[in-house]
């Protein structure tokens, strides 16, 4: 397995002046009080700026709404986790014993959070241009391969627009259940399209994600109903 410094140079195209920043970005809270959480907070803003700039330049005629959807698709946890997996980021993570046993090095939320922390660490180490270049190198091709902005509308937006276009009431979301440890919670939310007697539940690591999953299930049920009619 590559040393962290060599891994960063080869896989990210960036060599740290201060290896301590990289070490912190790779350290989960279960392993040390000095971990990636603060760097993740910073890296989230760095990532959003870098992707906003890239989308602005790549699609010069796109309206603000489309640019926002492109950015949202790229900065989402599933996208970041996929990139982290491709980079073998899990092999570099420092995890506590419990997280190691439970496969934390493969967990999407940890991969995504650590990658954001790395972006924050690069910003502190080399400045905004260095961080921007790494983000563009890792996500640029994905941006160019994205489907149309209309397709990228999230399930909640698409369900709301579909119901409104047919004169029906807006969907109702209800938090049904919350579980898990404080730092690894999960949520179950129901979504009901009352006028159509359709209801589904979704589960996610945040209430918003659970709502999106539930809305997607209602959209799929609505599509099946339309096919039968």
Q: Which residues are catalytic?
A: 44, 116
DSSP structure class, residue 180: S
Q: Which residues contact 59 (CB under 8 A, 6 or more apart)?
A: 66, 67, 70
Rounded distance, CA 195 to CA 128, Å? 50
User: Would you call 60 exposed, middle or buried from its count of C-beta atoms within 10 A (0-12, 13-18, 19+)?
Assistant: exposed
Q: Give the Cα separation of 162 and 156 in Å (integer).
A: 10
Concatenating the DSSP letter of every residue in 9-65 gives IIIIS---S-HHHHHHHTB-TTT-SS-SHHHHHHHHHHHHHHHHHHHHHH-TT--HH
Rounded CA separation 201/214 (Å): 5
């Amino acid at each position: 397995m590559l040393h962290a410094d060599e891994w960063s140079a080869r896989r990210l195209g960036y060599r740290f002046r201060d290896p301590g920043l990289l070490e912190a970005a790779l350290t989960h809270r279960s392993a040390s009080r000095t971990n990636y959480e603060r760097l993740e907070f910073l890296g989230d803003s760095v990532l959003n700026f870098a992707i906003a700039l890239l989308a602005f330049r790549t699609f010069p005629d796109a309206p603000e709404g489309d640019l926002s959807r492109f950015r949202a698709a790229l900065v989402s946890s599933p996208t970041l986790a996929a990139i982290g997996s491709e980079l073998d980021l899990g092999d570099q993570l420092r995890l506590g014993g419990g997280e190691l046993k439970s496969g934390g090095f493969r967990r999407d939320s940890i991969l995504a959070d650590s990658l954001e922390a790395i972006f924050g660490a690069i910003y502190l180490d080399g400045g905004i241009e260095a961080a921007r270049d790494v983000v563009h190198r890792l996500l640029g091709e994905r941006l160019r391969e994205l489907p149309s902005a209309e397709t990228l509308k999230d399930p909640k937006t698409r369900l709301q627009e579909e119901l409104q276009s047919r004169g029906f009431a807006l969907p109702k979301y209800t938090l049904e259940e919350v579980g898990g440890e404080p730092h690894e919670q999960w949520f179950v939310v129901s979504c009901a399209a009352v006028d159509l007697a359709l209801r589904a539940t979704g589960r996610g690591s945040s209430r918003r994600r659970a709502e999106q999953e539930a809305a997607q299930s209602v959209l799929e049920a609505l599509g099946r109903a339309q096919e039968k009619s």
